[in-house]
Amino acid sequence: MRLSKGSFRGSHWVFLLSILLRLIFAQGDTNSNDAAALNALASNWQNTPSNWVGFDPCGAKWVGISCNSKNRITSITLSSIGLKGTLSGGDIQNLSELEAIDLSYNPGLTGPLPASIGNLAQLLNLILVGCSFSGEIPAAIGKLSNLKFLSLNSNKFSGSIPATIGNLSQLYWLDLAGNQLTGTIPVSDATNPGLDLLIHTKHFHFGVNQLSGSIPSKLFSPNMTLIHVLFDNNNLNGSIPSTLGLVKTLEVLRLDRNSLTGPVPANLNNLTRLSEIHLANNHLNGTLPDLMGMDSLSFVDMSNNSFDSSTVPLWFSSLPSLTSLYLEYLNIGGVLPQTLFSGSPLQTLRLRNNHFNGTLDIGTDYSNQLQLIDLTNNDINAFTQIGGGYNKQLILIGNPVCNQGNTFPSYCKMTVSAPPSYNTSKKCITLPPTCPSGQTLSPNCQCAYPYSGTLFFRSPSFSDLSNNTYYTQLEQGLKDKFLQYQLPVDSISLQNVFVDAQNNLEMSLGVFPSNKTYFSQVDVTGIGFILSNQTYKPPPTFGPYYFLGQEYSVFIAPAPSAKKSNNLPIIIGAAAGGVVLLVLICLSILIIRRKKTTRLEEKSQSFASWDPKSSGSIPQLKGARMFTFEEIKKCTNNFTETNEVGGGGYGKVYRGTLGNGQLVAVKRAQEGSSQGSHEFRTEIELLQRVHHKNLVTLVGFCFEKGEQMLIYEYVPNGTLKDSLSGKSGVHLDWRRRLRVALGAAKGIAYLHELADPPIVHRDIKSSNVLLDENLNAKVSDFGLSKSLGADGKGQITTQVKGTMGYLDPEYYMTQQLTDKSDVYSFGVLLLELITGKKPLERGRYIVREVKSLLDWSKDLYNLKNLLDPSLELTTLVGGLKQYISLALRCVDESSAERPTMSAVVYEIEKIMRQAGVNPSSASNSSSAVGSTGTPVRHPYESDGPSDYSGDVAYPRIEPK
Ligand SMILES: *[C@@H]1O[C@H](CO)[C@@H](O)[C@H](O)[C@H]1NC(C)=O
Ligand SMILES: *[C@@H]1O[C@H](CO)[C@@H](O)[C@H](O)[C@H]1NC(C)=O
Ligand SMILES: *[C@@H]1O[C@H](CO)[C@@H](O)[C@H](O)[C@H]1NC(C)=O
Ligand SMILES: *[C@@H]1O[C@H](CO)[C@@H](O)[C@H](O)[C@H]1NC(C)=O
């Protein structure tokens, strides 16, 4: 933190003097009503920009404020500067010439959006992305008749979508995603407006809410010009209206992750400009939709529905732009045509759990971009590959072709390849320097404080995540756009690319300053606006996106807070004498100095409180966010008892809601417990490296004010332990238990085989397996986890830690830790799942009991008294024998005899099929791997820039 105390003192004197003189002897340039209104607004805010001093925002070029030639305030753009407070009070409406408001990425902004905002008749852009605004979206928003760009995504808005939005006839961008909106999508009737009237709107982004009811048929008409309809991750039901087929302009359609039923309307294939269609995870049925003639389609995902088809439809081999075909867990079959592989730029084919049969013949001129063919669990009985040469991933496990003979070809083996992830490389000519704490090495090998955040691409047209061409285009385009707006940007870094639970392509963005170590506030609000306003338009392959910026708080120097200075004019108005003026100046200087030192202390405090002796350096931040104590206190409602959801030796666990509406679990270390600080740090660093749907996600952490808190995604159904003991009220039948076992096994297999370097969890047990709303398992608590190092030895000697009852006896005796220790603990967990008994209770050890009683020749293998009676198991239950046998192999005394976790995953999937369970709901869809190839063209390339960047001129960027 380089905050020089001396160098700004002189300029403060001059600055302050000039303001005081101006206030007394001349009116400021700014229209006085505007100046008063802005000051009133700012009095509700903390952390306003450092130069917000005085009474002349236009003349004094306040950060984030633009004015027109008449000195009226026309825009407020203040993204990512840590603003806190509310918009309440009637003040904002007095800024009557406002054309643009952007307060994005300030999670400290809370409270409702006041209805008075509807009086801003000139408003064109209203952008409040990633704040914590709550309450209903006011109906008065429908009065903003000039509004073109409305982005309220990633807040906490609740209630229903106001029908009055239908009155915004100029609107072309409507983003309400990532809130808690409920109710139905409003359409017009004789008396009320509705969204069907928005015939100039190109973007309906309503995903990740709780919208319900059916999609009104009236919503769509041929007059509409929509290009993106994103309704994913809601509770919409009913069938897809056939009127959707009338919106010929449509390019991206996401209806996935809802509860839609019935068949897909036949006229869908009139949408010949459609490039991405996502219908996955609904209850759609009927025959597989006919996509013939939809020549722009590149990404098709209709998995997890109830479509059937006994022959392969013709469109499989006639879509010239197809990169990604996902049709998993359906009821479709037939022989795959060779032309599917050669007629399109195919990258990923995911067809697991269907009935594709006959011979798989991919021919010789298959797409050179092809990365993955997953046909797990189909009826393929032969694979011909004329000429050989296909060396990318092919999975035929669970097909008859794998039941022939003893030597399995590679496509019948569980192969595990590294997860694809792009990281911008660093161009260091010499050895890279070690950066001072808090700074990061830029791609050009300079240490600096980057402006960072997360980019979410809602529907890319590709699935090959390893193709660097895509990302270098993105980096270059972003940099060019920033430079075009004279922002001092040196380089762009992208990291940790992955597909998240909402099916967005997510990646961390770092923007590095040019020729300095940190950006100014002007720079930051400028960069933020380019992203929040969609001024930057990504390469067409990436499709629609949104960005969530982090607070950027490394500014040149702290300055007097706006509040103090706002009072000055009033004092001065009352007393005009020269002596009083002098006294005031002295006083003000004192105030400024005091402010400056307290700010300095505040800033360094958060880092200082991280005790390097006990826990090493500050964890490197990537995906996880650092929260302030105040934020966490607020999000858990001051740690109230009603928000308490668990606890243990470590401390308590609270439920909370973040500014963007995300539910989180906050694990708060017991006060004064410094013992856990090593575990704390380990967990942060490990969890940041791993992303898997069966591992609990770390959202962030807080280590302020002597507190140590970890903030995870909220997993609503509690621990597996509580479900088994009946405490949580979740009943797990045999099939559900198999699903839970599969999920947990996949999470652990990921740690062992896909994490780099591999990770041993060391504390696998039923209280560390959490169940989400669909009872999917998520492995948690990485406090004891260890990296196995990249030396390939796969073992380390370490002090024995873990939980009695689950602990691997070999590890206990030799102190040699390998991944097989987790396999042992997992075996105990398997026994716990089937017996419903604690592994170690009153001297009874479950492993010993099962081993001593087991007799394969007897009824229920002689385990009748041990098995959980609520499971109503009989020897006839499919897979029971294999399950017990698997569990016992996992708890073999010799670690070498235990299976690997991927073998366990494979076995459990087999057992599930024997038990008549579709492994679907617990299945993992990781993404395609490895390759190069040319990026796919996306049709909305042709749509011209006006689709993305508002028609509003970019607010003035002040010279520094
Ligand atoms: C759509 O167009 C038709 C005629 O082509 C017209 O009758 C109807 O009012 C239009 N709808 C809207 C919402 O403008
Ligand atoms: C749209 O699809 C329907 C049903 O497939 C068809 O009858 C109709 O002619 C198509 N309309 C246009 C304009 O292509
Ligand atoms: C599709 O599902 C609906 C209920 O959602 C049912 O009424 C209908 O019979 C099903 N159709 C087919 C072809 O299975
Ligand atoms: C594939 O399955 C279908 C439907 O079950 C059947 O009619 C067809 O003969 C099978 N084809 C081959 C090559 O096995």
E strands along 514-637, which residues? 545-549, 625-626
**Residue type at 19 in one-letter notation:** I
Radius of gyration of the chain (CA): 30
pLDDT of 7 reads: 39
Tell me the pLDDT tens digit for each residue of 574-623: 333 333 344 344 344 444 333 333 332 333 222 223 333 333 333 334 45
Tell me: the pLDDT tens digits for 905-936? Answer: 989 988 888 887 777 643 333 222 222 222 22
Alpha helices in 208-322 (DSSP H): none
Binding residue ranges: 667
CA gap 580, 315 in Å, rounded:
84
Question: Any idea which residue has 């109503």 for tokens?
Answer: 872
- Asked whether 272 lines ligand 2 (CB < 6 A), one says no
Nearest CA to ligand 3 atom 6: 262
Which residues line the pocket of ligand 3, CB cutoff 6 A? 261-262, 285-286
Six-digit token string for 26: 């001349």
Lowest-confidence region among 456-460, 643-647, 793-797: 793-797
Q: What is the pLDDT of residues 825-862, one digit of tens each?
A: 999 999 999 998 899 888 788 999 999 899 888 888 88
Pocket test for ligand 2, best of 269, 270, 272 (most atoms within 8 A of CB): 270
Q: Using alpha carbons, select from 147, 155, 138 the residue that is nearest to residue 174.
A: 147
- The two tokens of residue 761 are 């969890």
The predicted structure's pLDDT at residue 388: 61
Which residue has the least CA distance to atom 2 on ligand 3?
Answer: 262
Given the CA of residue 196, which atom of ligand 1 is nearest to it? 13
* Residue with CA nearest ligand 4 atom 5: 310
Q: How far is the CA of 913 from the centre of ligand 4 (A)?
A: 21
Q: How far apart are CA 273 and CA 603, in angstroms?
A: 52
Distance separating alpha carbons of residues 830 and 908, to the nearest angstrom: 11
Q: Is 197 in the pocket of ligand 1 (CB under 6 A)?
A: yes
Share of the chain above pLDDT 90, in %: 48
Atom of ligand 3 nearest to the CA of 283: 5
| pLDDT of res. 91 | 78
Starting from the CA of residue 270, give the closest ligand: 2
Distance from residue 540's CA to the centre of ligand 2 (Å): 28
Place of tokens 């990436």: 542
**Which of 235-249, 332-346, 600-614, 833-847 has the least mean pLDDT?**
600-614
Q: What share of the chain has pLDDT > 70, as a percent?
A: 82
Measure Cα distances from 64 to 226, 527, 581, 699, 764 in Å: 32, 12, 30, 29, 51
At residue 897, φ and ψ (nearest 5 deg) are: -80, -15
Q: Smallest Cα–Cα separation from 527: which of 448, 451, 447?
A: 451
Distances (CA, A) of 656 to 107, 663, 710: 14, 6, 12
What's the rounded Cα separation, in Å, for the pair 325 and 313?
A: 13
Cβ-proximal residues to 139 (8 Å cutoff; 6+ apart), any chain: 115, 162, 163, 164
pLDDT for position 937:
26
CA 922 to chain centre: 20
Tell which atom from ligand 3 comes closest to the C-alpha of 261.
Answer: 5
SS3 at position 653: strand
Q: What are the binding residues for ATP?
A: 667
Please spell the DSSP secondary structure of 298-315, one letter per residue: -EEE--SS--EESS--GG
Q: Between the CA atoms of 908, 914, 920 and 926, what dihedral angle is there, to the nearest 10 degrees?
A: 40
Distance from residue 262's CA to the centre of ligand 3 (Å) = 6
Residues 863-885: b if buried by 16+ CB within 10 A, e if exposed: beebbbeebebeeebbbbeebbe
Query: Which ligand is nearest to the Cα of residue 225, counting in written order?
Result: 1
Report the C-alpha gap between 180 and 738 in whole angstroms: 33
Of all atoms in ligand 3, which is nearest to the CA of residue 285? Answer: 1
Interval 811-818 mean pLDDT: 84
Is the CATH number of domain 592-714 3.40.50.720? no
Give the residue with greater pLDDT, 612 vs 180: 180
Residue 94, token pair as written in the block: 């007095």
Beta strands in 233-347 (DSSP E): 252-254, 261-262, 276-278, 283-284, 299-301, 308-309, 324-326, 331-334
Q: How far lies 182's CA from each of 153, 159, 249, 280, 546, in Å?
A: 14, 6, 27, 21, 22
299 or 89, greater pLDDT: 299
Task: State if pTM tops 0.75.
Answer: no
Alpha carbon of 606 to ligand 1 centroid (Å): 59
The pLDDT-based confidence of 366 (bands split at 50, 70, 90) is: confident
Q: Which atom of ligand 1 is nearest to the CA of 188?
A: 13
Ligand 2 neighbour 386 (Cβ under 6 A): no
pLDDT at 544: 95
> What local confidence, expressed as pLDDT, does residue 12 receive?
54
Question: pLDDT digits over 368-383, tens only?
Answer: 889 899 999 999 999 8
Q: Which run of H or E residues covers position 828?
A: helix 819-835
The predicted model gives 679-703 an average pLDDT of 81
In the chain, count H helices and then E strands: 17, 46
With contact defined as beta carbons under 8 Å apart, do 493 and 510 qualify? yes
For 523, the token pair is 């720079």
DSSP designation for 9: H
Burial bucket for residue 440 (CB in 10 Å: 0-12, 13-18, 19+): middle
pLDDT at 100 over 80: yes
Higher-confidence residue: 940 or 718? 718
Buried (b) or exposed (e) across 763-778, using 16+ Cβ within 10 A?
bbbbbbbbbbeebbbb
Cis peptide, bond prior to residue 757, ω within 30 of zero: yes
In single-letter form, the type of residue at position 566 comes to: N
Active-site residues: which are they?
763
Which region among 134-143, 518-527, 699-708, 741-750 has the lowest average model confidence (pLDDT)?
699-708
**Residue 817 CB–ligand 1 contact under 6 Å:** no
| Averaged pLDDT score across all residues of the chain | 81
Note the pLDDT tens digit of each residue in 410-440. 888 876 665 667 888 888 877 777 888 888 9
Please report the atom of ligand 2 found closest to the CA of residue 270.
Answer: 1
342: closest CA among 367, 323, 360, 321?
A: 367
CA-nearest residue for atom 6, ligand 1, is: 223
Residue 459's pLDDT is: 96
> Where is pLDDT greater, at 457 or 941?
457
Report the range of poorest mean pLDDT among 218-227, 559-568, 769-778. Answer: 559-568
Q: Give ligand 4 pocket residues (Cβ under 6 A).
A: 310, 333, 335, 357-358
Query: Would you say residue 235 has pLDDT above 70?
Result: yes
> Does residue 86 surpass a pLDDT of 50?
yes
Q: Determine the Cα angle at 867 with ends 865 and 870, to 5°.
A: 110
Q: What's the token pair of residue 469?
A: 């061409």
> Best of 259, 282, 283, 285 to mutate for ligand 3, by most ligand atoms within 8 A of CB?
285
Is 267 near ligand 2, meaning CB less than 6 Å away? yes
Which residue carries 């409507």 as its tokens?
A: 174
Q: What is the pLDDT of residues 692-739, one digit of tens each?
A: 889 988 888 887 777 788 888 888 888 899 888 877 777 888 888 999
Q: Indicate if the pLDDT at residue 648 is higher than 50.
A: yes
Nearest ligand 4 atom to alpha carbon 359: 13
Pocket of ligand 2 contains residue 242 by CB under 6 Å? no
CA 228–ligand 1 middle distance (angstroms): 20
- pLDDT at position 266 over 60: yes
Instruction: Enter the tokens of residue 649.
Output: 């030796």
Indicate the pLDDT class of residue 821, thresholds 50, 70 and 90: very high
- For residues 56 and 29, the answer to whether their CB atoms sit within 8 Å is yes
Distance from residue 483's CA to the centre of ligand 3 (Å)? 55
CA 268 to centroid of ligand 2, rounded, Å: 9
Domain ranges of the chain: 440-549, 592-714, 722-960
Query: Residue with the nearest Cα to atom 1 of ligand 1?
Result: 223
Pocket perturbation via mutation, ligand 3, pick of 236, 237, 261, 308 by most ligand atoms within 8 A of CB: 261
- Report the distance separating Cα 675 and Cα 668, nearest Å: 13
Q: How many CB atoms lie within 10 A of CB 914?
A: 16
CATH code for the domain defined by 440-549 = 3.30.70
What pLDDT shows up at residue 383? 87
Choose the CATH number for 722-960 among 3.40.50.1100, 3.30.310.50, 1.10.510.10, 2.60.40.420: 1.10.510.10
Under a CB-based contact definition with an 8 Å cutoff, are residues 157 and 112 in contact? no
What is the CA(245)–ligand 2 centre distance, in A? 8
Nearest to 227 by CA among 246, 253, 207: 253
